[in-house]
């Protein structure tokens, strides 16, 4: 086919040319045109058609000339015809999407109706929902495209007026039938057929008995089902000013011997000058530990902004819960917030999507949807205490201390502290004033004691080999005890609860530094690993 002929066929905006093109595609005889009247119910005025015919003839001539020029300049006539087709678009509706009060969509598998719930404001579109799905969070942006697409419907060409053989266009049994009801009482109805074999960017549409080529981008969204229009945001992310405090997170899981329970560290946050931990939460069960901020944030705050990869079931029934392992969930994660809201997330069976992503079927209590959420986002399904704990054993700032009691091997010392910074801080050792910097260096070593791992078993029935009790000026106090298990490993308990393991060499170094504390000529050993 010559480029000129190809250009003319792609520019076929008259009923005669477009019909001939269609009949050439499908092997039929050219259809005869008939008069119609364009309106929201379809059709076209005779004078309008004549103007389009005349304009199309000029466009064909212009296209031919453009094709010749482009050939000379190394371009393509196809690009030129696409530009001219856009310029010659035929408005089929011309109404405002904001005026749609009701939109009925009859799809291949499901039928549903959109209703306007909030009018357009400024640059914001009108808000719609689907009848019968008011209890489900919808993708407002995607949902609103349907009435706006229907109202902005434009044709690239009139293919056949009063078409007789609709099957050739996929319109005998349309992929979708759409009716828009407007505030003024008018209606606009169209059917959606197959995509043009010549150009995938165009789709056949039936309006008032006439067949048009309409941009596929305006018709594609009508193939969506209600499930496709549901928002994949499980819980919205609040604005900073409205962000609640997550008071607690409890994770109950079948593969855990004990629950993971996290609490907001109110005491640490209220006395912010006392703590060196960056995390706002602490692990309380199965042991008390500070949290690694980076690793724990998805657990403590991951509910907000939680997004699913897909919708597994909309308005699930009892059989759906059983099918997806949610009748007896593998994991339940409960988050309680200071605004009074509690979120309960149930996690069922895992599965792998077609693109190889591991997901979990997940149900948020009170929301009538079963989601498919990625393993990364559904972090509660796999997290272990060792993944989120901080190896920090002590986190109290030196300037907030009121007293420190230290025992290591056969050394035992008591320190009293007063002041708020290095300028006025005073330290007494067993009642005698000592050099503040000397004490600060010893305390620096205490803060450097980091755990190797969590320890959840019983502590030995013996006296501790070392023990440190810290009391802050606000009255907060805790005791960390060390029990030597071997020449290499020592067990650590906080307030009598086993928590960590640490290297035994730390006890030797602590005992040595206590022994030489009063000898200002000897430098402390500040490393122990």
Q: What is the mean pLDDT of residues 207-223?
A: 94
Cβ pair 467, 481 in contact under 8 A: yes
Cβ pair 211, 205 in contact under 8 A: yes
Q: What is the mean pLDDT of residues 443-470?
A: 92
Residue with tokens 């699930």: 316
Question: pLDDT tens digits, residue range 249-301?
Answer: 999 999 999 999 999 988 767 655 555 567 899 999 998 899 999 999 999 99
3-state secondary structure of 276: coil
What is the three-state SS of 28-81? Answer: CCCCCCCCCCCCCCCCCCHHHHHHHHHHHHHHHHHHHHHHHHHHHHCCCHHHHH
CA 7, CA 3: separation in Å to the nearest integer?
6
CA 130, CA 13: separation in Å to the nearest integer?
37
At residue 255's C-alpha, the angle toward residues 250 and 259, to 5°, is 25
Q: What pLDDT shows up at residue 272?
A: 53
User: What dihedral do alpha carbons 209, 213, 216, 219 form, nearest 10°?
Assistant: -20
Is residue 75 pLDDT above 90, yes or no? Answer: no
Is residue 216 pLDDT above 70, yes or no? Answer: yes
Is residue 309 pLDDT above 90, yes or no? Answer: yes
Is residue 174 pLDDT above 80, yes or no? Answer: yes
Is residue 442 pLDDT above 90, yes or no? Answer: yes
CA 55, CA 186: separation in Å to the nearest integer?
30
Q: What is the mean pLDDT of residues 335-349?
A: 97
Question: pLDDT tens digits, residue range 24-51?
Answer: 333 333 333 333 333 333 333 333 333 3
Residue with tokens 């309006």: 207
- Structural domains in the chain, CATH included, are 3-87 (no CATH), 92-229 (no CATH), 240-386 (no CATH), 398-515 (3.30.1490)
Q: What is the mean pLDDT of residues 158-185?
A: 95
Is residue 85 pLDDT above 60, yes or no? Answer: no
CA 236, CA 214: separation in Å to the nearest integer?
36
Residue with tokens 């009748």: 327
- Measured in degrees and rounded to the nearest 5, phi and psi for residue 68 equal -65, -40
Reading the block at residue 117, the tokens are 């719930």
Is residue 348 pLDDT above 90, yes or no? Answer: yes
């Amino acid at each position: 086919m010559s480029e000129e002929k190809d250009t003319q066929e792609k520019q076929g905006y008259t009923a005669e040319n477009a019909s001939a093109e269609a009949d050439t595609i499908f092997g039929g005889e050219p259809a005869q045109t008939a008069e119609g009247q364009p309106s929201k119910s379809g059709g076209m005025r005779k004078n309008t058609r004549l103007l389009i015919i005349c304009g199309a003839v000029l466009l064909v001539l212009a296209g031919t000339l453009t094709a010749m020029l482009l050939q000379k300049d190394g371009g393509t006539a196809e690009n030129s015809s696409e530009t001219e087709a856009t310029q010659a678009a035929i408005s089929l509706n011309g109404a405002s999407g904001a005026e749609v009060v009701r939109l009925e969509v009859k799809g291949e598998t499901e039928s549903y109706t959109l209703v306007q719930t909030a009018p357009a404001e400024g640059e914001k579109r009108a808000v719609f929902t689907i009848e019968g799905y008011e209890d489900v969070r919808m993708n407002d942006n995607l949902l609103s495209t349907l009435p706006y697409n229907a109202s902005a419907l434009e044709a690239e060409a009139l293919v056949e007026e009063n078409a007789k053989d609709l099957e050739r266009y996929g319109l005998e049994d349309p992929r979708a039938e759409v009716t828009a009801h407007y505030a003024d009482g008018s209606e606009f109805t169209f059917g959606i057929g197959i995509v043009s074999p010549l150009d995938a960017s165009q789709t056949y549409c039936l309006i008032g008995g006439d067949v048009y080529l309409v941009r596929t981008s305006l018709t594609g969204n009508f193939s969506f089902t209600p499930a496709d229009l549901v928002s994949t945001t499980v819980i919205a992310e609040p604005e900073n000013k409205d962000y609640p405090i997550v008071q607690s997170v409890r994770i109950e899981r079948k593969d855990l011997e004990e629950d993971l329970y996290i609490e907001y560290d109110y005491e640490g946050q209220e006395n912010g000058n006392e703590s060196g931990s960056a995390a706002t939460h602490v692990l309380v069960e199965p042991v008390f530990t500070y949290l690694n901020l980076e690793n724990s944030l998805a657990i403590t705050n991951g509910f907000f902004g939680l997004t699913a990869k897909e919708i597994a079931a909309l308005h699930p029934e009892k059989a759906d819960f059983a099918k997806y392992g949610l009748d007896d969930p593998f994991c339940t994660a409960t988050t309680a917030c200071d605004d009074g809201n509690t979120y309960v997330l149930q996690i069922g069976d895992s599965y792998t999507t077609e693109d190889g992503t591991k997901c979990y079927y997940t149900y948020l209590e009170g929301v009538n949807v079963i989601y498919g959420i990625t393993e990364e986002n559904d972090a509660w399904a796999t997290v272990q205490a060792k993944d989120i704990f901080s190896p920090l054993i002590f986190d109290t700032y030196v300037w907030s201390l009121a007293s420190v009691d230290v025992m290591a091997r056969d050394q035992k010392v008591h320190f009293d502290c007063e002041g708020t910074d290095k300028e006025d801080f005073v330290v007494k050792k067993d009642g005698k004033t000592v050099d503040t910097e000397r004490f600060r260096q010893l305390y620096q070593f205490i803060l450097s004691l980091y755990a190797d791992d969590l320890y959840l078993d019983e502590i030995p029935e013996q006296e501790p080999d070392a023990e440190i009790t810290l009391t802050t000026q606000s009255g907060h106090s805790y005791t960390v005890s060390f029990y030597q298990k071997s020449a290499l490993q020592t067990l650590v308990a906080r307030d009598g609860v086993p928590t960590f393991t640490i290297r035994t060499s730390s006890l030797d170094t602590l005992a040595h530094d206590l022994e030489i504390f009063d000898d200002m000529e000897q430098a402390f050993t500040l490393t122990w690993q």
